[in-house]
Amino acid sequence: MLALATSCGTDTGDEPAPASVLPESQHLTLGNPSGALTDVNQPMNYLLMKPQYALSYHRDRGTPNWVSWHLEAADLGSASRQDNFAPDNTLPTGWYQVQATSYPGSGFDRGHNCPSTDRTATVADNSATFLMTNMIPQAPNNNQRTWANLENYTRTLVSATQEVYVIMGSYGKGGTGSNGAATTIDQGRVTVPARIWKVLVVLPVGDNDASRFTSATRVIAVDTPNENTVSSTLGHYRTTVDAIEAATGLDLLSAVPTSVQASVEAKVDTGPTQ
């Protein structure tokens, strides 16, 4: 289980800062899974708000706990893939910023949480997906086959009449990339996760999205091992939201009415995934 501590360690010289007021964001319409705040005293659950997505960052792992974003037709345009991987200079002063050069040679891809191709409306939107706070060390076959297939399928769900909410994260320690098994990279500053998960919520286009959930709303939950031998077919990695919550300690879809949560979070989706 991922522990999200709320106190700052003694290895930072930052002066304590008050917790920020949680900004409104379409990317957190379905809830803030870990109660993250933009507060230097929560280094393992630090909220970063971008126009393109929201995330909870874990300073000591050097990766996000989760990234959440809304996907609609207007997000899909003609901007090309920028490939401009970069450290995130919005992290608090004194925190290590994972570099674009931190992953190459490790045997793990710089694996996007919010995918580049989900943000092609503008060059700025696409560039935002290449911030290293949006990355995890991901086994190449997991990234380029398994998750690429699900990402491609997700975009087929988006239309003038349909929108999707996506929450993705990782947990545990230790994966197997093209160079074999590893628990960390970048001289121990970035943790290699053991598992990678994603939850997709498919809704008709409309307003007040969290309140429009019903027991028939399609929710796809997937949890895969971070291994290079992972299957490219996601069907047998499908699980329940409840199971992901039990593994991570997160509260997913917390803004959805509780009676509906109980129903949709216990189901394993049986529809197509690619």
pLDDT, tens digit, 9 for 90 and up, residues 61-98? 999 999 999 999 999 999 999 999 999 999 999 999 99
Q: Which residues are catalytic?
A: 112
pLDDT at 216 over 50: yes
Contacts with 227 (C-beta within 8 Å, 6 or more apart), sequence order:
139, 142, 175, 176
Q: State the pLDDT at residue 274.
A: 79
SS3 assignment, position 156: helix
Q: State the pLDDT at residue 236.
A: 84
Residue 106 φ/ψ, nearest 5 degrees? -85, -15
Q: State the pLDDT at residue 15.
A: 35
pLDDT at 12 over 80: no
pLDDT at 3 over 70: no
pLDDT at 272 over 70: yes
pLDDT at 180 over 90: yes
CA 114 – CA 168 distance, rounded (Å): 8
pLDDT at 143 over 50: yes
pLDDT at 196 over 80: yes
Q: Give the ranges where 84-173 is alpha helix by DSSP (H).
A: 123-128, 140-141, 148-156
Q: State the pLDDT at residue 7.
A: 35
CA 191 – CA 60 distance, rounded (Å): 8
| Amino acid (one-letter) located at 89 | N
Q: Give the ranges where the chain is alpha helix by DSSP (H).
A: 123-128, 140-141, 148-156, 241-248, 258-264
> The tokens of 96 are what?
């290590």
CA 218 – CA 103 distance, rounded (Å): 35
Contacts with 104 (C-beta within 8 Å, 6 or more apart), sequence order:
none
Q: State the pLDDT at residue 87.
A: 98
Q: State the pLDDT at residue 85.
A: 98
Q: State the pLDDT at residue 71.
A: 98
Please state, rounded to an integer, the average pLDDT across all residues of the chain. 92
**pTM, rounded to two decimals:** 0.92
Question: What does the pLDDT look like over 106-132, one tens digit per residue?
Answer: 999 999 999 999 999 999 999 999 999
> The tokens of 194 are what?
């053991």
Residue 123 φ/ψ, nearest 5 degrees? -60, -40
Are the CB atoms for 184 and 192 separated by under 8 Å?
yes
Q: State the pLDDT at residue 16.
A: 33
> The tokens of 72 are what?
């609609």
Average pLDDT for 15-41: 75
Q: How many CA atoms lie within 13 A of 254 on its CB side?
A: 12
Confidence of residue 4 (pLDDT cuts 50, 70, 90): low
Residues 26, 194, 46, 110: is their CA dihedral positive or negative?
Answer: negative
Confidence of residue 235 (pLDDT cuts 50, 70, 90): confident
Q: State the pLDDT at residue 273.
A: 85
